[in-house]
Amino acid sequence: MSDSAAMASVFRSGLLDGQVALVTGGGTGIGFGIAELLAELGAHVVIASRKPAHLEAALAALTSRGHKASAVSLDVRDPERVTAVVREIATQYGRIDLLVNNAAGNFYAPSATLSPNAWRSVVEIDLFGTFYCSQAVYPIMAAQGGGRIVSTSMTLHYRGWPMMAHATAAKAGVDALTRTLSVEWAPQRIRVNAIAPGPIPTEGVRKAFMPPADSGIPDRFAAAEDRMAEYARTGIPLGRWGAPRDIANMVAFLASPAGDWITGAIFVVDGGEWLAKATT
């Protein structure tokens, strides 16, 4: 059972019955956690990913539990493919109620030597991809009388985050896009919001906390766990790392009738981490 599945749902069963949701980057990590909760609440979830192996495993995990789910191969950087996939989903399932722009690319690299292609790759996945997918669902949501878009942002651009010029610039763009589209598409009753997740222990995070191979520490994995526990105690005011379900809960809330009067908002879900950093 995944971390997120271990946390029982606070939402009523059948809350999202009849809804169709598209989750980009839905095969792993936070995206899968979101897909999992939406499906548990009754939505038909279409997970999209560039990587077939991720799709197969995620789809098997969802369908084996009796959830309604399907998978589609998609690189959000390709606007024509995005449009085709979105049309296909609408034709097949009759509607799209929720788009979760979760697909993201990221790595630490010094800005001075970041290649044009490296810059472009991250900005295209995080920002252009969010725009292409949002634009593609617009006509479908407008024609059906409304819909919800939830994009994944971050908090690192609130202060500046060295070695991450590409991702911070892209996510600042996602914030701007969220606010602009929310106002522009409100007449069509399309609610557009974003979530800025705090630290969720992905593989990348675990690696970042691991002592270097030449450190002489015999059990580097155990050392990484100790360091992560220490970070939770000292760096996260609410005292623990996040889980995909923490983010998924906010998506489910926004997808539910409780989100009816919410648009243009960017929700920080981070245990207080960024504010604590801002005071140090």
Residue closest to 242 by CA, chosen among 33, 28, 24? 33
Q: What is the rounded distance in angstroms from the CA atom of residue 251 to the CA atom of residue 25?
A: 15
> According to CB under 6 A, which one of 64, 91, 115, 280 is a site residue for ligand HXC?
115
Cβ-based nearer residue to ligand HXC, 46 or 156: 156
Cβ-based nearer residue to ligand HXC, 125 or 192: 125
> According to CB under 6 A, which one of 41, 100, 154, 255 is a site residue for ligand HXC?
154
Q: What is the rounded distance in angstroms from the CA atom of residue 123 to the CA atom of residue 169?
A: 8
Does residue 127 touch ligand HXC according to CB under 6 A? no
Closest approach of ligand HXC to the CB of residue 54, in Å: 10
Cβ-based nearer residue to ligand HXC, 109 or 217: 109
Does residue 263 touch ligand HXC according to CB under 6 A? no
Closest approach of ligand HXC to the CB of residue 204, in Å: 6
Does residue 49 touch ligand HXC according to CB under 6 A? no
Residue 22: phi, psi to the nearest 5? -110, 125
Q: Which positions ≥6 away from 115 have C-beta within 8 Å?
A: none
Cβ-based nearer residue to ligand HXC, 106 or 151: 106
Let me know if 263 is exposed, middle or buried by CB neighbors in 10 A (0-12, 13-18, 19+). Answer: buried
CA 166 to centroid of chain Cα atoms: 17
Q: Is the dihedral of CA 150, 144, 20, 250 positive or negative?
A: positive
Does residue 112 touch ligand HXC according to CB under 6 A? no
Footprint of ligand HXC (CB under 6 A): 104-107, 109, 115, 117-118, 121-122, 125, 154, 167
